[in-house]
C-alpha cells in the first residue's frame, strides 16, 4: 500500500509538471495568436537585438559633397543623442551618394528600394534627386524626410500620389525666393535684376519665385538665363546679361558653377560693381574655395541660424567636438530634426511581439510622420501639413566678408531678415 501511494504521488507530480508545461506553452501560443499587427502596405519585422535600419541618400562626393556631409553629420548627432537606440534596438545608418542630380537620385533610390530591411530614409539633398527618387522609395513603402530639398514642386498639391511618402524639414522656396526679392528691393533699393539657373528643379523654381516677387514689388527683370552645372566658361551668359544693365544678379545654383559665375562676373564689362546673391545651395566654405576673393561682399539667402531653438548651441558644441570643425552647409540642424521626427514616429507605431520582435508598419509610420505637430526641433516648431511641408520657415540674408573667405567659415549672423 505504501509503495502504491508513493508511485501515485510520483505520477501526480509528473502529470502536474507536464500539465504545467503544457499550460505555459499553451499560454505562449495563445499570446502569439492574439498578437496581431497589420498594415496596409507592409510591415518591417526586426528580431530581438537586430538594428533598426535607417538609410541616408545624400551627395557625399564631388563638388557639392559639403552639403551631404553636413546633413549626414546632423543625422549622426541625432543618433548619438538617442543613445544609439530606438525602442531598445540599435540604430544602423547606411549612406548612398546621390551626386546632386536626377540620375544619381534615381540610382540611389533604386538601390535603397531593393533593401527590405530599410525602415525609413533621410534625404535627399538636392531637389533634382528627389523628383525621380522619392516615388521609387514610396513604391517600396519607404518614407523619406528631406533636410534640404526646397523646390516648391515636391510639396505642391498637384505633385501626385507617388510623392505621398515624402516630407521635408527644409523650407519651401516659395519663402526663400520671396525673401531674396524683398531684400533686393527693400534693403538694397534695387530696381533692375537678372537671374541665372542651372536647369535643376531647385534653381529653376527658386529663381522663378524671385523674379515673380521682384516684379510684383515694382522691379524689372532684365534677363532669366540658364547655364549647365558642368559649364566653366560663364562669360557668354554674363555678357548677354550685361546688355540689360542689371544692378543685381540672383543665381541660386550649386558650388562649381556658382564659383565660376562669381569669379567671371568681375571680368565682364558692365558687371564689375553689380550686386551678387546666391542661395543656400552655395552657402558653404567649399563655395569660398571655388569663388575666392570675388565672393567678398556678395549675399546669400539661407535659413536664419539666429532664429533656431536654444538647443542649437549645444548641437554646435557637439559638432565641434565630434568633427573638429564648424558645420559645412546650412542644413545640419534640419537633418537632425528629420532624423528625430523619424525616431519619434517609430516610437509611436512600433510594437513588440511576445518573442521580442519589433513590428513597424510602413503606412503607419508614414501617417505618424505626417501627423507630427508642434515637435520641438532645433530649427523651431516643426508641424507637418498634408503635403509634407514640416518646416518652421525662417529665411534671412547674409553677407560674405573677407574673414569668411580667408578662414573658410560661413557667416552665422544675418544682416537682414523680413520679420
Each domain of the chain, given as residue ranges in start order, spans: 45-170+331-388, 174-303+396-407
- pLDDT given at position 6: 45
Q: Check pLDDT > 60 for residue 12.
A: no
pLDDT at 14: 41
d(CA 262, CA 25): 74
pLDDT computed for residue 392 by the predictor: 87
For residue 8, what pLDDT band results from cuts at 50, 70 and 90? very low
For 45-170+331-388, give the CATH class.
alpha beta
Q: Is the pLDDT of residue 369 over 90?
A: yes
Q: What is the DSSP string of 71-136?
A: HHHHHHHHHHHTTTEETTEEEEEEEEE-TTSHHHHHHHHHHHHT-TTEEEEEE-SSHHHHHHHHHH
Query: What are 319-338's pLDDT values in tens digits?
Result: 999 999 999 999 999 999 99
For a pLDDT cut of 70, what percent of the chain falls above it?
Answer: 92
pLDDT tens digit sequence for 237-267:
999 999 999 999 999 999 999 999 999 999 9
133 vs 163: CA distance, rounded Å: 10
- Alpha-carbon distance 295 to 258, whole Å? 10
Q: Cα–Cα–Cα angle for 387, 388, 390, nearest 5°?
A: 130
Three-class DSSP category at 393: coil
Please report the pLDDT score of residue 34 as a whole number. Answer: 75
CA–CA distance, 272 with 269 (Å, rounded to integer): 7
SS3 (DSSP) at 353 = coil
Position 322 scores a pLDDT of 98
**Mean pLDDT, range 80-102, rounded to an integer:** 97
For 239, list phi and psi in degrees, rounded to 5.
-65, -40
CA-to-CA dists, residue 296 to 108, 232, 299, 330, 336, angstroms: 36, 20, 9, 19, 30
Average pLDDT, the chain: 93
Q: What is the biggest distance separating any 2 CA atoms in the chain, rounded to whole angstroms?
A: 122
Phi-psi group of 88: left, alpha or beta (phi > 0 → left; psi -120 to 50 → alpha; rest → beta): left
Residues written for the chain: 419
Report how far residue 278's alpha carbon sits from residue 300's, in angstroms, rounded to the nearest whole number.
5
Q: Give the span between the Cα atoms of 289 and 256, in whole angstroms.
A: 10
45-170+331-388 and 174-303+396-407, same CATH topology: yes
pLDDT over threshold 60, residue 24:
no
Please, which pLDDT band fits residue 302 given cuts at 50, 70 and 90?
Answer: very high
CB 62 within 8 A of CB 255: no
Residue with cell 540674408: 397
Name the CATH topology of 174-303+396-407.
Rossmann fold (3.40.50)
CA atoms within 13 A of residue 177's CA, in its CB half-sphere? 26
- 10 Å Cβ neighbour count for 82? 15
111 Cβ neighbours under 8 A, 6+ residues apart: 96
Alpha-helix residue ranges (DSSP H) falling in 114-217: 127-139, 173-182, 201-216
Is it the case that residue 52 has pLDDT exceeding 50? yes
What is the mean pLDDT of the segment spanning 202-218? Answer: 97
pLDDT of the residue at 19: 40
pLDDT (mean) for 293-320: 96
Amino acid at each position: 500500500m505504501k509503495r502504491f501511494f508513493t508511485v501515485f504521488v510520483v505520477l501526480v507530480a509528473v502529470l502536474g509538471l507536464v500539465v504545467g508545461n503544457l499550460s505555459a506553452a499553451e499560454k505562449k501560443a495563445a499570446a502569439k495568436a492574439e498578437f496581431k499587427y497589420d498594415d496596409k502596405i507592409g510591415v518591417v519585422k526586426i528580431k530581438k537585438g537586430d538594428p533598426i535600419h535607417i538609410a541616408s541618400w545624400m551627395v557625399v562626393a564631388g563638388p557639392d559633397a559639403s552639403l551631404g556631409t553636413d546633413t549626414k553629420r546632423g543625422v549622426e548627432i541625432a543618433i548619438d543623442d538617442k543613445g544609439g537606440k530606438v525602442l531598445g534596438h540599435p540604430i544602423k545608418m547606411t549612406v548612398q551618394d546621390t551626386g546632386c542630380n536626377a540620375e544619381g537620385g534615381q540610382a540611389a533610390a533604386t538601390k535603397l528600394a531593393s533593401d527590405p530591411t530599410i525602415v525609413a530614409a533621410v534625404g535627399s539633398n538636392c531637389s533634382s534627386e528627389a523628383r525621380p527618387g522619392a516615388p521609387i522609395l514610396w513604391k517600396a513603402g519607404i518614407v523619406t524626410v528631406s533636410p534640404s530639398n526646397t523646390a516648391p514642386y515636391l510639396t505642391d498639391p498637384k505633385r501626385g500620389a507617388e510623392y505621398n511618402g515624402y516630407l521635408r524639414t527644409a523650407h519651401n522656396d516659395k519663402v526663400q525666393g520671396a525673401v531674396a526679392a524683398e531684400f533686393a528691393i527693400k534693403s538694397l533699393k534695387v530696381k533692375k535684376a537678372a537671374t541665372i539657373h542651372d536647369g535643376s528643379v531647385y534653381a529653376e523654381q527658386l529663381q522663378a519665385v524671385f523674379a515673380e516677387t521682384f516684379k510684383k514689388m515694382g522691379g524689372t527683370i532684365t534677363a532669366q538665363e540658364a547655364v549647365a552645372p558642368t559649364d566653366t566658361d560663364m562669360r557668354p551668359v554674363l555678357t548677354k546679361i550685361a546688355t540689360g544693365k542689371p544692378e543685381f544678379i540672383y543665381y541660386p545654383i550649386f558650388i562649381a558653377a556658382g564659383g565660376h559665375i562669381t569669379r567671371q562676373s568681375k571680368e565682364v564689362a558692365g558687371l564689375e560693381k553689380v550686386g551678387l546673391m546666391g542661395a543656400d545651395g552655395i552657402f558653404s566654405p567649399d563655395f569660398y574655395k571655388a569663388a575666392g576673393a570675388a565672393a567678398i561682399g556678395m549675399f546669400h539667402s539661407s535659413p536664419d541660424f539666429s532664429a533656431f531653438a536654444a538647443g542649437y548651441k549645444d548641437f554646435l558644441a557637439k559638432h565641434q567636438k565630434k568633427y573638429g570643425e564648424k558645420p559645412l552647409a546650412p542644413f545640419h540642424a534640419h537633418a537632425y530634426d528629420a532624423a528625430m521626427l523619424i525616431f519619434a514616429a517609430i516610437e509611436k507605431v512600433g510594437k513588440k511581439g511576445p518573442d521580442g520582435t519589433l513590428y513597424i508598419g510602413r503606412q503607419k509610420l508614414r501617417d505618424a510622420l505626417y501627423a507630427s505637430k508642434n515637435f520641438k526641433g532645433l530649427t523651431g516648431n516643426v508641424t507637418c501639413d498634408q503635403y509634407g511641408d514640416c518646416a518652421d520657415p525662417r529665411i534671412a540674408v547674409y553677407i560674405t566678408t573677407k574673414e569668411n573667405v580667408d578662414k573658410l567659415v560661413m557667416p552665422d549672423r544675418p544682416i537682414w531678415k523680413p520679420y
